């Protein structure tokens, strides 16, 4: 739990030396509590106090990162139960599982399909984060060959899954230059798994059925020297998963349970038999509160649904998705092409741009800076008015590209036409449709 200013003050040297830049140690402590100062500014704090303060100021959920060839996915550092309280910071990594009992050509084909899949969603490139490889055969050579087959065609992030530490060691041998997540340490094998994770400096997932069992297991593994841990609750049905994941998040955030302050890994296919149910469970776990999700199926329609859901859940509600204000060309417009204006809210921009593009008609689309708000919202907030549009016209130099002086404004703000005629003398103001689609 975060310390108060007075609690921090008791750990400081209380000399009021002013070398930290504040008049008193109490003032410095208050700034530390508000996260407006750095502990390193105090030259006289003791090592014991420093350790206690750094521990207390650590994020309630540790940030754990896996990486590969420039790709990386991070989970953790979350501070709230509900997005509207602040925001969610790190979207869960989505992985597709293959097994070393599958033919290698089949493994390569699936890994290639995952690597190739990308979708453009309101100007964002969405894609899966990597592959999970499970040692199901029990043979180290087969597991190593399966990992190598995946790496041949897919350079995304990696999760290595085995019940035996020696198998994971073999898999790591085929994953040079990769920082994978190892799955999973249990009550029966945690010592061997912790040794492999510590030796290779990679994160380790701890698997147990309940929060209490997970807390005991992570405490033991952390004491063995592995700091980057991931929780893998083995209760995987719909109700059990929702309850367990919510308990883990609440215990970490609200009760300061450091032994549960780690991101969570889920495998929805282990909890249900029907692929449709597995997809639904994956969606539930993306929203509540998985950090890594391992799927047993892959198809474009499933991938699109989960990626868009993830993007929408992990978009900062305090910062609307925006496009860069400016002048956009659609279908190679000439000097006689119509000029349309809209706001820089991404969904608004792409709705208009896609409709104009699909019509086949060349056009100029002027995007005014409305702080990422939609047309009506921006107009109501005074962010999209005649002066804003006129300013955009002048700043973009669109007049030099046109042989006419006509501009089409959104139908929802037809009321601006009179004011815009005053702001842009000599221009013909035309009112477009209320909806682009």
- CATH number for the domain including 31? 1.10.15.40
DSSP one-letter code for 41? G
Is the same domain home to 199 and 249?
yes
Taken as a whole, the chain contains a residue count of 437
In a domain, 318, yes or no: no
How confident is the model over 357-371, as pLDDT tens digits? 999 999 999 999 999
Residue 135: domain span:
64-313
In a domain, 365, yes or no: yes
How confident is the model over 115-173, as pLDDT tens digits? 999 998 877 899 999 999 999 999 999 999 999 999 999 999 999 999 999 999 999 99
- pTM listed for this prediction: 0.81
Is the same domain home to 252 and 362?
no
Is the same domain home to 330 and 423?
yes
pLDDT at 417 over 70: yes
Q: What is the pLDDT of residue 209?
A: 96
In a domain, 319, yes or no: no
Helix (H) or strand (E) holding 184: strand 181-185
Q: Are 389 and 368 in contact (CB under 8 A)?
A: yes
| 3-state secondary structure (DSSP) of residue 62 | coil
In a domain, 321, yes or no: no
Q: What is the pLDDT of residue 31?
A: 86
pLDDT at 15 over 80: yes
DSSP sequence for 8-40: HHHHS------TTSSSSHHHHHHHHHTT-S-GG
How confident is the model over 233-270, as pLDDT tens digits? 999 899 999 999 999 999 999 998 999 999 999 999 99
Is the same domain home to 103 and 252?
yes
Q: What is the pLDDT of residue 36?
A: 73
Average pLDDT, stretch 63-84?
Answer: 94
In a domain, 215, yes or no: yes
In a domain, 289, yes or no: yes
Is the same domain home to 244 and 259?
yes
**Tokens 């249900």 — which residue?**
272
Is the same domain home to 48 and 69?
no
How confident is the model over 297-346, as pLDDT tens digits? 999 999 999 999 999 999 888 887 889 999 999 999 999 999 999 999 98
Q: What is the pLDDT of residue 215?
A: 98
- CATH number for the domain including 180? 3.20.20.20
How confident is the model over 277-289, as pLDDT tens digits? 999 999 999 999 9
Asked which of 57, 78, 98 is the last residue of a domain, the reply is 57
Is the same domain home to 25 and 125?
no
pLDDT at 64 over 90: yes
Q: What sign for the dihedral angle of Cα 225, 261, 310, 272?
A: positive
Q: What is the pLDDT of residue 318?
A: 81
How confident is the model over 180-201, as pLDDT tens digits? 999 999 999 999 999 999 999 9
Is the same domain home to 236 and 381?
no
Q: Among residues of the chain, what percentage have pLDDT more than 90?
A: 83
pLDDT at 272 over 70: yes
Distance of alpha carbon 292 from alpha carbon 393, whole angstroms? 46
In a domain, 9, yes or no: yes
Q: Which of 164, 163, 165, 172 has its CA nearest to residue 144?
A: 172
**Is the peptide bond between 102 and the residue preceding it cis, with omega within 30 degrees of 0?**
no
pLDDT at 407 over 90: yes
Number of domains observed in the structure of the chain: 3
Return the exposure string of 214-238: e unless at least 16 CB atoms fall within 10 Å of the residue's CB, then b.
Answer: bbbbbebbbebebebbbbbbbbbee
Asked which of 268, 289, 313 is the last residue of a domain, the reply is 313
Q: What is the pLDDT of residue 437?
A: 52
In a domain, 210, yes or no: yes
Is the same domain home to 286 and 402?
no
Is the same domain home to 334 and 417?
yes
Q: What is the pLDDT of residue 34?
A: 74
Residue 203 makes CB contacts below 8 A (sequence gap 6+) with 64, 65, 66, 179, 181, 182, 197, 228, 229, 230
Q: How confident is the model at residue 2 (pLDDT cuts 50, 70, 90)?
A: low
**Helix/strand/coil percentages in the chain, nearest 5:** 45, 20, 35
pLDDT at 55 over 80: no
Q: Mean pLDDT, the chain, as a whole number? A: 94
Distance of alpha carbon 382 from alpha carbon 369, whole angstroms? 12
Is the same domain home to 75 and 45?
no
DSSP sequence for 296-359: S---HHHHHHHHHHHHHHTS-TTS--B---EEEEESS--TTS-EEEEESBHHHHHHHHHHHHHH
**Is the peptide bond between 289 and the residue preceding it cis, with omega within 30 degrees of 0?**
yes
pLDDT at 48 over 90: no
How confident is the model over 174-185, as pLDDT tens digits? 999 899 999 999
Q: How confident is the model at residue 373 (pLDDT cuts 50, 70, 90)?
A: very high
CB atoms within 10 A of CB 106: 12
Q: How confident is the model at residue 1 (pLDDT cuts 50, 70, 90)?
A: low
Asked which of 288, 313, 338 is the last residue of a domain, the reply is 313
Average pLDDT, stretch 396-420?
Answer: 95
Q: What is the pLDDT of residue 420?
A: 96
Task: Tell how strand 130-134 and strand 157-161 pair up.
Answer: parallel
Is the same domain home to 417 and 331?
yes
């Amino acid at each position: 739990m975060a310390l108060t200013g007075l609690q921090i003050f008791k750990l400081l040297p209380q000399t009021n030396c002013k070398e930290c830049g504040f008049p008193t140690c109490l003032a410095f402590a208050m700034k530390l509590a508000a996260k407006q100062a750095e502990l390193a500014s105090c030259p006289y704090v003791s090592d014991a106090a420093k350790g206690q303060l750094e521990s207390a100021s650590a994020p309630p959920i540790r940030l754990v990162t896996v990486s590969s060839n420039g790709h990386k996915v991070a989970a953790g550092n979350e501070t709230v139960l509900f997005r509207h309280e602040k925001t969610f910071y790190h979207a869960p990594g989505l992985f597709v599982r293959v097994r070393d009992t599958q033919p290698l050509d089949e493994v390569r084909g699936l890994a290639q399909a995952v690597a190739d899949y990308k979708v453009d969603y309101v100007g964002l490139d969405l894609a899966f984060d990597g592959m999970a490889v499970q040692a199901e055969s029990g043979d180290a050579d087969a597991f190593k060959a399966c990992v190598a087959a995946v790496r041949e065609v897919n350079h995304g992030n990696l999760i290595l899954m085995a019940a035996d530490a020696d198998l994971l060691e073999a898999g790591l041998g085929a994953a040079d230059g990769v920082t994978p997540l190892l799955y999973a340490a249990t009550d029966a094998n945690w010592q061997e798994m912790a040794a492999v994770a510590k030796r290779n400096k990679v994160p380790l997932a701890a698997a147990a059925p309940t929060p209490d069992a997970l807390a005991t297991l992570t405490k033991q593994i952390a004491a063995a020297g592995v700091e980057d841990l991931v929780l893998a609750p083995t209760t995987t049905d719909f109700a059990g998963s929702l309850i367990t994941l919510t308990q883990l998040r609440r215990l970490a955030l609200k009760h300061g349970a450091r032994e549960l302050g780690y991101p969570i890994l889920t495998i929805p296919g282990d909890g249900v038999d029907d692929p449709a149910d597995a997809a639904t469970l994956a969606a539930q776990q993306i929203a509540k509160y998985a950090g890594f999700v391992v799927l047993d199926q892959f198809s474009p329609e499933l991938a699109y649904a989960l990626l868009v859901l993830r993007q929408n859940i992990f978009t900062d509600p305090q910062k609307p998705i925006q496009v860069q204000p400016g002048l956009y060309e659609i279908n190679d417009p000439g000097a006689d092409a119509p000029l349309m204006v809209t706001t820089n809210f991404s969904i608004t921009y792409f709705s208009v741009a896609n409709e104009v593009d699909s019509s086949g008609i060349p056009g100029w689309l002027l995007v005014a800076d409305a702080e990422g708000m939609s047309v009506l919202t921006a107009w109501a907030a005074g962010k999209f008015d005649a002066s804003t549009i006129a300013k955009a016209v002048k700043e973009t130099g669109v007049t030099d590209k046109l042989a006419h002086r006509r501009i089409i404004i959104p139908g929802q703000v037809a009321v601006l036409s009179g004011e815009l005629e005053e702001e842009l003398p000599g221009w013909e103001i035309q009112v477009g449709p209320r909806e682009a689609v």
